[in-house]
Structure 1
Amino acid sequence: MKKFFSVLVFFAWLLPAGVATAQEAYWVQVEANATLREAEASARRYAETIDKVNAFRIGQSGWYATAIGPFTEAAATAKLLELRAAGAVPADSYVSDSRPYSQQFWPVGDDALAEAPAALPATPPAPRPDAPQAAEAGEVAVADPETAPEPDPAPAPDPAPETAPETAPEPEPAPEPEPEPEPVREETRQEALQSEYQLSGDEKKALQIALQWQGYYKSLIDGDFGPGTRAAMSAWQEANGYEVTGILTTRQRAEVLAAYQAVFDSIGLRPVTDQRAGIAIEIPTAMVSFDRYEAPFAHYTGDEGVRVVLISQRGDKATLYGLYDILQSLEVVPPEGERRRRDADFTIEGANDRLISYTHAELVDGAIKGFMLIWPQHPMKLNPATGEMEPEVDRRRDLVLEAMRTSFASTGEAALPDNAGLDEATQSIDLVSGLEIRKAERARSGFFVSNRGAVLTTTEAVAGCERITLNESYDASVVATDDTLGIALLQPAQALAPIAVAELLTYDPRLKSELAVAGYSYGGRLSSPTLTYGELAEVQGLSGEDSIARLTMLAQDGDTGGPVLDQGGAVVGMLMAPPAGNRQLPAEVALSAKSTALAEFLAANGIAAATTEVQGAMTPFDLRALAANMTVLVSCWK
């Protein structure tokens, strides 16, 4: 259990003298968890080696505590020291009274809050002056044979006493029962006001912050308990089953702050200085720890899905701008979100249904330094205000992000060398320094059919896409489809100026003539389209359709939507997607939507396609160059 600061110190001011009774229970709190499942697992784990382990809800905060007890205050302190010395509990475990704890949920059926607190064992009699001293903890006391005194000779036996008549021993008096613990009395309204009056300004602000975190206080943190603070206190009392007075008692203030403290327990914000990266920053050390270097990143990972990445590399403004572009291709930087790039820094925010990320980098000390915070999205829940399903917000992220932003600093000129972590790095085309590149749901081909960048592709390529891109750089939208032929017309969000536009052949080529389809056969893993050669097998479809031709060609899925070219570079058709459903064609059979059908479709949608009646011949090199300038990678993103 990691802590932001000591609860004992944090709460000390809340406990005016004389409030606790002699029988008040105390506990050794060892852990706080955000979920019931984690808390049960924690309690079971400690109970394997420690007695008197219990688990409680912390008020109505939604957090859960694992605590050992109950004890008297002195016994709890002694137990804490004993367990710490044995390494059985975390070093930041602490002694707490019962006030933060409400319902006990483990062990099932127990009610430890009602038990009498265990006291320290009776003090043993004082040793004789000549007795050997007790060994230090962990040592075994052994007498030195050279200095140990000789044992005294056995005393002579006493003469046998005269026989006396036997008498029955007097019975020992029965031990008096321990007194029942006195119930802890709640303060009256007047007593609560008196204890509240003793709070300092900072202590009042701390209470306002805790109420604000729990959603009850929505005004300024000023330490002034005005109408807004009183209303927040009343709302908290009502939500937690207390009498609504608008004035928190000492016990209630402790409960409010304990719930807020539990949040920090689960985060463990600590300053960290990464000497190799040359960065000092506060990070959630209870959630992440150092994993590895892969220049220009230092990776900090954990078990909860939270990740921190420190950015550090030599460079200038051009390097900064290049990093800005590269980061936006990563899986952990969703495309939806605010972007801001300035002369000497940039910030990228992104969110999707799986994660939310924040990235900042700047030019400082002759290097580019920054950080990324990657946080998992929580399950969707209904927002009663809007009636829509939205991700449940983990407000701890706001605390962590604010701490990272305000504490981030360069420690000097040190920066990660370009080969940092190279020996351990996993080399992959799908990774950038250990971070996965964002990949499309599917990638197909298309080709330019107008001078402003309109593109033809298949309906299968764009079905169900939340976002469509051309060459992974330009957003596009579907403006027309023909479901019979399975073709779709795409319009880029901004006008483009393609180097080459398709020229559609106005008639069918000869049977058995050599053709080639230009396409991104491997889903964009290659930067240019591939030519796959085949021949025209039939000028009709398999069911006799006049708008479809059958080809003999070993094409790939990524080729679908690509232009089918003759040897002179004229487009004789578009490669269609394989039939859907249970029907599967032989591997060498492919279908093409004829160029004449494509021209009619374009004309019906306001585009006058370029046409040709010439069947010339081009060298393979020139044909490949024409195909590369005409063919487009069409990516579908979800």
Structure 2
Amino acid sequence: MSKLLTAIFFTLALTVSAAAQSNFWVQIEARNTLSGAQERASEYTRRLDNVAGFYLGNNFYGIVIGPFSQAEASITLDRLLARGAIPSDSFVKSGQFFKQQFWPIGGGTSAAATPPAAEPLGANAAANLPSDPIETPDETPAEARASERLLSLEERQELQKALKWAGYYTVAIDGSFGRGTRASMQAWQIANNQEPTGILTTRQRALLFEQYNGVLDGLDLRLVRDTASGIQMEVPTGVVGFIEYQPPFVRFDANSDIPQAQVLFISQAGDEGKMIGLYEVLQILDIVPPDGPRSRTPRGFTIEGIGDGLHTYVSASLVDGEIKGFVLVWPEGDDQRRTRLIEEMEASFERLPGVLDPDIAPPGEDQAIDMVSGLAVRKPQFTRSGFFVTEDGAVVTTTQAVAGCARITLDRDDEAEVVFTDAEIGLAILRPVDPIVPRDVAAFLIDVPRLQDQIAVAGYPFNGALSAPTLTFGQIIDIRGLSGDDRIKRLAILPQPGDSGGPVFDDSGSTIGMLLPRADGSVQILPPEVNFSLDAGQIVATLTAQGFAPTLREKGGPISPVALTRQAADVAVLVSCW
């Protein structure tokens, strides 16, 4: 009998020893709410094996992987970290002090591996755990002030940041709880159905920070260290993932149900000139809407682009010959989460040695003129042509060029406004929002042109793909329109739609008109070479009536096609409708 008891005790000892040896786990997260921990455990279960969750005590819930022996747990930790599958601060933990198991619902780990205190949490046993959210005793205003005095300067500043994020605090983050801070606290209390004392209790501060940090749930913020670009920063890996290197960018594109989400690391060698160039290039990308605040100094810049469903934030700076920064593209309207995310990204941004090698990514088949480093350039609705008529940059174009436009640009970069239109003759006058000094202006011919004279139209027939205007040559066929209108000249020429609004030159370089769009009706379609221009005299009369002083000149001798091409490049301008 004694031998049998000895054998039983020996067997039990071996079992307990084996359980203890296999009671090591890789802890990947800890949450201070049960609902938040269950949500994160569910997310991890979809992509990792052997995910479990235990109550750790002190109102924390641990999400773990296991069980393993201690050696197996260390190997698993290294393997998962190398894959980037778990947060970088994950670690091996003994399960001997785990309490109730909350994941999987109903339990699911090996009984031998579960410590005696870890009782599986059944589907209806959530009441066994601390309530969610955790309540702490409230305080009187005097007690709240006393607990508030124990806060460090940094903690007081963090509280102001949380109030600012929530939309109640608008002044400096200085850690001083003056009238502005008290008013913001009272506003938050009213919005959250709390007594409006203007002094946050310990419980209220905890609730505010739970709101402040809760918006980051599901984004899976992880510290990404990219040695190729020399940048380390928190990245929301729950919604974006690394795609490719496209100098000067490291691209992290959407991998979740937030299709607008995108993160770019910016990394390149350069000086102030290159930084200004980067600043300009970023603003023509599709992912950076044109509206929103911009700020630039000799050492850095920030850009916010808001519209078309996007809210994009760009920050970059120049330090020791290296331009580094980041871009966050986010859905428009999700301001609380976007603001909080930018705070974390900026706080974690760190410069490492080196910049992105321009040759790290060889050119591929997807290169295109309307792409920059693999990112689409923003395109206008359509483009037409125009030409400078005054020294301060006034432009004449066709009314078709400005119809239905939210904004208008000249040569893509310069904003312009419509100051006059005449639908009857098809003429529009534009003025740049910021002054432009053109290299040359149109000189209008005083004399009447002769039939059969050679003419040339300067325009942008390829939607601005070419940086200079193209000349299309033809002849004057009639000094009146088909119905006898002497404000119109009939031409024999084969232009493209984008040429409309461009200047019509004679062989001396004088401007004799503006090319009009084709107006084929549903009944009659004119031959393709039949086109019309608005007469120079009509343009001059309209400009003069509107207070402009156009340049006039008499007929001169012919100039070479090369000279005419140079003149056209100085006078003609691309008009884009956005």
The question of a shared fold, defined as TM-score above 0.5 by the shorter chain, is answered with yes
Partner of 2:243: 291
**Could you tell me whether the CA contact under 8 Å between 2:186 and 2:196 is conserved in 1?**
no
Partner of 1:31: 39
Partner of 1:599: 540
- 1:519 is displaced (CA, Å) by 0.7
Matched, 1:527 2:467: yes
Summarize the Cα distance change of 1:91–1:524 in structure 2 as closer, same or farther, 3 Å threshold: closer
**Could you tell me whether the CA contact under 8 Å between 2:240 and 2:252 is conserved in 1?**
yes
CA deviation map 1:511-569 (0-9, x unaligned): 33322211111122111111111222332223332211222211111100111112222
Greater per-residue helix proportion:
2
Partner of 1:17: none
1:6 to 30, 54, 61: 30
Summarize the Cα distance change of 1:582–1:398 in structure 2 as closer, same or farther, 3 Å threshold: farther
1:280 to 223, 228, 232: 232
1:327 to 282, 304, 307: 282
**Aligned runs of 1:29-108 on 2, under 5 Å?**
29-31=37-39
Partner of 2:219: 267
**Aligned runs of 1:328-407 on 2, under 5 Å?**
328-378=283-333, 393-407=334-348
**Could you tell me whether the CA contact under 8 Å between 1:552 and 1:590 is conserved in 2?**
yes
Matched, 1:422 2:377: no
TM-score for both structures, normalised by structure 2: 0.70
CA deviation map 1:251-295 (0-9, x unaligned): 999987766554222222222111000111122222222111011
Summarize the Cα distance change of 1:481–1:191 in structure 2 as closer, same or farther, 3 Å threshold: closer
What secondary structure is seen at the aligned counterpart in 1 of 2:519?
Answer: coil
Q: C-alpha separation between the residues in 2 aligned to 1:247 and 1:608?
A: 67
Q: C-alpha separation between the residues in 1 aligned to 2:507 and 2:449?
A: 11
**Could you tell me whether the CA contact under 8 Å between 1:306 and 1:375 is conserved in 2?**
yes
What secondary structure is seen at the aligned counterpart in 1 of 2:291?
Answer: coil
Q: C-alpha separation between the residues in 2 aligned to 1:373 and 1:267?
A: 13
Partner of 2:507: 567
1:539 to 479, 484, 488: 479
1:312 to 263, 267, 280: 267
**Aligned runs of 1:129-528 on 2, under 5 Å?**
232=188, 235-237=191-193, 262-302=214-254, 303=256, 304=258, 305-378=260-333, 393-412=334-353, 414-424=354-364, 426-528=366-468
- 1:492 is displaced (CA, Å) by 2.7
Q: C-alpha separation between the residues in 2 aligned to 1:282 and 1:185?
A: 31
**Could you tell me whether the CA contact under 8 Å between 2:442 and 2:511 is conserved in 1?**
yes
What secondary structure is seen at the aligned counterpart in 1 of 2:539?
Answer: helix
**Could you tell me whether the CA contact under 8 Å between 2:488 and 2:532 is conserved in 1?**
yes
CA deviation map 1:271-324 (0-9, x unaligned): 211100011112222222211101111111114212111111122333223322
CA deviation map 1:185-211 (0-9, x unaligned): 999x996569x9999967998999878
**Could you tell me whether the CA contact under 8 Å between 1:333 and 1:357 is conserved in 2?**
yes
Q: C-alpha separation between the residues in 1 aligned to 2:220 and 2:483?
A: 68
**One-letter identity of the residue aligned with 1:407:** S
Summarize the Cα distance change of 1:363–1:542 in structure 2 as closer, same or farther, 3 Å threshold: same
**Could you tell me whether the CA contact under 8 Å between 1:313 and 1:369 is conserved in 2?**
yes
What secondary structure is seen at the aligned counterpart in 2 of 1:264?
Answer: coil
- 1:233 is displaced (CA, Å) by 5.2
Unaligned ranges ≥5, structure 2: 1-26, 69-75, 77-84, 91-97, 115-123
- 1:462 is displaced (CA, Å) by 1.6
Q: C-alpha separation between the residues in 1 aligned to 2:445 and 2:169?
A: 72
**Could you tell me whether the CA contact under 8 Å between 1:294 and 1:422 is conserved in 2?**
no
Summarize the Cα distance change of 1:506–1:266 in structure 2 as closer, same or farther, 3 Å threshold: same
Summarize the Cα distance change of 1:363–1:612 in structure 2 as closer, same or farther, 3 Å threshold: closer
Q: C-alpha separation between the residues in 2 aligned to 1:256 and 1:495?
A: 49
- 1:504 is displaced (CA, Å) by 2.1
What secondary structure is seen at the aligned counterpart in 2 of 1:6?
Answer: strand
What secondary structure is seen at the aligned counterpart in 2 of 1:625?
Answer: helix
Q: C-alpha separation between the residues in 2 aligned to 1:273 and 1:409?
A: 9
**One-letter identity of the residue aligned with 2:376:** E
Partner of 2:5: none
Matched, 1:558 2:498: yes
Q: C-alpha separation between the residues in 1 aligned to 2:248 and 2:230?
A: 12
Q: C-alpha separation between the residues in 2 aligned to 1:522 and 1:470?
A: 15
- 1:337 is displaced (CA, Å) by 3.1
- 1:218 is displaced (CA, Å) by 9.2
CA deviation map 1:54-92 (0-9, x unaligned): xxxxxxxxxxxxx999x9999xx999879999x9xx979
**Could you tell me whether the CA contact under 8 Å between 1:294 and 1:425 is conserved in 2?**
no
Find the structure with the greater CA-based Rg.
1
**Could you tell me whether the CA contact under 8 Å between 2:388 and 2:440 is conserved in 1?**
yes
**One-letter identity of the residue aligned with 2:381:** E
Summarize the Cα distance change of 1:636–1:580 in structure 2 as closer, same or farther, 3 Å threshold: farther
Partner of 2:562: 621
**Could you tell me whether the CA contact under 8 Å between 1:192 and 1:248 is conserved in 2?**
no
Which segment drifts farther, 488-497 or 428-437?
A: 488-497
Partner of 1:64: none
Q: C-alpha separation between the residues in 2 aligned to 1:216 and 1:495?
A: 40
Q: C-alpha separation between the residues in 2 aligned to 1:476 and 1:78?
A: 59
CA deviation map 1:216-247 (0-9, x unaligned): 89999899999976885565358xxxx99999
- 1:620 is displaced (CA, Å) by 1.5
What secondary structure is seen at the aligned counterpart in 2 of 1:292?
Answer: strand
Partner of 2:72: none
CA deviation map 1:568-608 (0-9, x unaligned): 22222110122287465432221111112112212212234
Q: C-alpha separation between the residues in 2 aligned to 1:579 and 1:254?
A: 69
**Could you tell me whether the CA contact under 8 Å between 2:417 and 2:431 is conserved in 1?**
yes
What secondary structure is seen at the aligned counterpart in 1 of 2:514?
Answer: strand
